[in-house]
Structure 1
Amino acid sequence: MNNKLLFSHIQPRRNFLLHSLKASAGLALFSPDLSWGKTSNTIKKTWTVQQVMDLVMKDGNLSPISDTVDTLKSGKAGQTVTGIVTTMFATVAVIKEAAKRNANFIIAHEPTFYNHLDKPDWVKNNQVVKKKQELLEKHQIAVWRFHDYCHSLKPDAVSYGVAKKANWLSYYKTGSEVLTIPSVALGDLVKHLKKSLDIKQLRVIGELDQPCAKVVLMPGAWGGTRHVAKVEAENPDVLIVGEVSEWETAEYIRDSRLLGGKTALIILGHSVSEEPGMEYFAEWLQPKLSDLKVTHIASEDPFKWL
Structure 2
Amino acid sequence: MKNKNISRRKFINLSGSGMLAGVGAVSGAGVLLPQFGCSPKSKITAGEVVDRIKKEVAIPWREVTVDTIKGAGTLDIVVTGITTSFMATLDVLKKSVKAGNNFILAHEPTFWTNLDLGEGLEDDPLYAYKQEYIKENGLFVHRFHDHWHARRPDGINEGWMKVMGWDTYKYDEANKIYELPEEITLLDYAKDVKRRLRSDSVRVVGDPKLIVKTVGRGSNKVLRGGAPIADVVIHYEPDRENNNVEWERDIVASGQKKGFIIVSHNRREEDGMDNCARWLRTFISEVPVDFIPSGDPFWRTT
Tell me if TM exceeds 0.5.
yes
Equivalent-residue separation in structure 1 for 2:105 and 2:128 (angstroms): 20
Partner of 1:247: helix, strand, or coil? Answer: coil
1:34 is displaced (CA, Å) by 9.9
Alpha-carbon distance change, 252 to 157 in structure 1, aligned in 2, over 3 angstroms: same
Look up the match of 1:18: none
Aligned-residue RMSD, C-alpha: 2.5
Q: How much identity, in percent, do the aligned residues show?
A: 32
Matched, 1:237 2:231: yes
Look up the match of 1:153: 151
Q: Give the letter for the 1:122 counterpart.
A: G
- Give the helix-richer structure, 1 or 2: 1
Look up the match of 2:103: 105
1:233 is displaced (CA, Å) by 8.1
Look up the match of 2:265: 270
Whether the aligned pair in 2 keeps the contact of 1:224 and 1:248 (CA below 8 Å) is no
Equivalent-residue separation in structure 1 for 2:197 and 2:230 (angstroms): 21
1:273 is displaced (CA, Å) by 1.9
Whether the aligned pair in 1 keeps the contact of 2:149 and 2:155 (CA below 8 Å) is yes
1:144 is displaced (CA, Å) by 0.8
Match among 65, 69, 73 for residue 62 of structure 2 = 65
TM-score using structure 1 length: 0.80
Alpha-carbon distance change, 88 to 177 in structure 1, aligned in 2, over 3 angstroms: farther
Structure 1: runs of 5+ lacking an equivalent = 1-32
Alpha-carbon distance change, 172 to 295 in structure 1, aligned in 2, over 3 angstroms: farther
Partner of 1:215: helix, strand, or coil? Answer: strand
Whether the aligned pair in 2 keeps the contact of 1:107 and 1:145 (CA below 8 Å) is yes
Look up the match of 2:296: 301
- The count of aligned residue pairs is 267
Equivalent-residue separation in structure 2 for 1:239 and 1:132 (angstroms): 37
Equivalent-residue separation in structure 2 for 1:240 and 1:68 (angstroms): 28
Alpha-carbon distance change, 300 to 78 in structure 1, aligned in 2, over 3 angstroms: same
1:172 is displaced (CA, Å) by 7.4
Equivalent-residue separation in structure 2 for 1:265 and 1:258 (angstroms): 13
Offset from partner CA, 1:164-185 (integer Å, 9 cap, x none): 1122211276x99632222321
Equivalent-residue separation in structure 2 for 1:127 and 1:172 (angstroms): 51
Match among 47, 59, 82 for residue 50 of structure 1 = 47
Structure 2: runs of 5+ lacking an equivalent = 1-28
Whether the aligned pair in 2 keeps the contact of 1:48 and 1:79 (CA below 8 Å) is yes
Whether the aligned pair in 2 keeps the contact of 1:242 and 1:274 (CA below 8 Å) is no
Equivalent-residue separation in structure 2 for 1:265 and 1:169 (angstroms): 21
Larger radius of gyration: 1
Look up the match of 1:290: 285
Whether the aligned pair in 1 keeps the contact of 2:36 and 2:42 (CA below 8 Å) is no
